[in-house]
Amino acid sequence: MKQAGHDAIARQADEHLVTHRVKLPKKVVERPIRQVGKRLLMALLVLVATALIVYADHDGYNDNSDGSVDLLDAFYYATVTLSTTGYGDITPVSDAARLTNIFVITPLRVLFLIILVGTTLEVLTERTREEWRLNRWRSTLRDHTVVVGFGTKGRSAIQTVCATGLNKEQVVVVDPSSKVIDAATAEGYAGVIGDATRSEVLKRAEVHRARQIIIATQRDDTAVLVTLTARQLNRGAKIVAAVREEENAPLLQQSGADAVITSASAAGRLLGLSVLSPAAGMVMEDLIQQGSGLDIVERPVTRAEVGKGPRETEDLVVSVVRGHRVLGYDDPAVGELQLTDRLITIVRASPGVRVAPDARPLPRD
């Protein structure tokens, strides 16, 4: 028990340390150590080239100590010259040596300083540039999608949404694991490291400006707390949550979730359907996988369809959303389609054409 308590305290401490960290997708760049190493190597090559140039014309230089310039003196002269120290103990005396200093050594000196100073400035301004990029990201982020939990459920959910046309730049992933956030940023999503049950973490993800929130945590109690916190911060966003146990679904709905998916029972039903009819199981899996084969989408009724029955439309209509009710296509209450109705249809996904579903919460009975 004591060890378990110590572990829990350690986990809380770790979570506290990583709270408020936002990670944006990184551009494909080399590691800082490799960049610095390459620049140091370039500076060394410039130094060696300068020393060899001086040694090649060593007769045109004078050393105050012994009058001659050897290879060591050439490297010494190159070092004090490129660093702009210039002790003056070794000087060019011939016209050729002076011309070499004007047209060769001086440009090499400038290149040497650019390499070293540029490296220093890049290291010093890296944090400033990252802060500027982060502030710009916050100021432009609107109507985005927040995904809490980037496990199998969260990753699959956001891949499905992105298949309908959502830009990856409009997705923010929240997870307490830094490794998970690294994986999310590697795929092009912005990430926030922290406990999503805390309002300050969700504020970092700009939840109050989000259009839709996907909650795919590992624990049902965590999902309830995240839903409560998210709904408090954003009254108008669509919140979709996943739970393991079906008995916890009403708690999520009472907490403010617009739709609740029971992952365990949904997987079980699909397994049972596949046992009874493998082909039917394949069709159902195809329907819930956006972007290929058959897709199930929600769309408004067109003016040309007003007054017709659900079976008279070009698309295969399975349900009609009218007000706060979801009616089956064969429900007598549907009657004729109205302009304010919305249709749940099955369409064939066309390559290169994406149909983005409406962002309005699906009405509940």
Q: Retrieve residue 200's tokens.
A: 């300050």
Packed helices 106-140 and 71-82: angle between N→C axes, nearest 10 degrees: 40
pLDDT, average across residues 208-226: 92
Q: How far apart are CA 19 and CA 3, in angstroms?
A: 24
Mean pLDDT of all residues in 56-85: 80
Per-residue pLDDT at 308 exceeds 50: yes
Q: Which residues pair with 238 in a beta bridge?
A: 212
Residues 205 and 192: beta-carbon distance below 8 Å: yes
Determine whether 230 is exposed, middle or buried from the number of CB atoms within 10 Å of its CB (0-12, 13-18, 19+): buried
Question: pLDDT band at 137, cuts 50/70/90?
Answer: confident
> Would you state the pLDDT for residue 119?
67
What pLDDT shows up at residue 365? 38
Residue 252 in contact with residue 224, Cβ under 8 Å?
yes
Q: What is the DSSP letter of 262?
A: E
DSSP 311: G
Q: What is the mean pLDDT of residues 27-37?
A: 61
Question: Which of 94-108, 207-221, 274-288, 315-329 shows the lowest mean pLDDT across its residues?
Answer: 94-108
pLDDT confidence of residue 96: 79
- Split at pLDDT 50, 70, 90, the class of 357 is very low
Tell me which H or E stretch contains 227: helix 220-233
Lowest mean pLDDT: which of 60-64, 95-99, 232-236?
95-99
Structure tokens at 190: 């912005």
Residues 6+ away with beta carbon under 8 Å from 32:
123, 126
Residue 200 backbone zone (phi > 0: left; psi -120 to 50: alpha; other: beta): alpha
Length of the chain counted residue by residue? 365
Measured CA to CA in angstroms, residue 46 lies from 13, 97, 244, 287 at distances of: 49, 18, 64, 63
> Residue 103 and residue 55: Cα distance in Å, rounded?
16
Q: Give the per-residue pLDDT at 122.
A: 67
> Of all residues in the chain, what percent are helix, strand and coil, respectively (each to 5)?
50, 15, 30
Per-residue pLDDT at 245: 85
Condensed to tens digits (0 to 9), the pLDDT of residues 237-266 reads 999 999 888 888 898 899 899 989 887 777
Short-list 22, 24, 25, 13, CA closest to 175: 22
Reading phi first (left if > 0) and then psi (alpha if -120 to 50, else beta), residue 117 is in alpha
Q: What pLDDT shows up at residue 230?
A: 94
CB burial of residue 275 (10 Å; 0-12, 13-18, 19+): exposed
Residue of 119, 80, 118 lying closest to 101 (CA atoms):
80
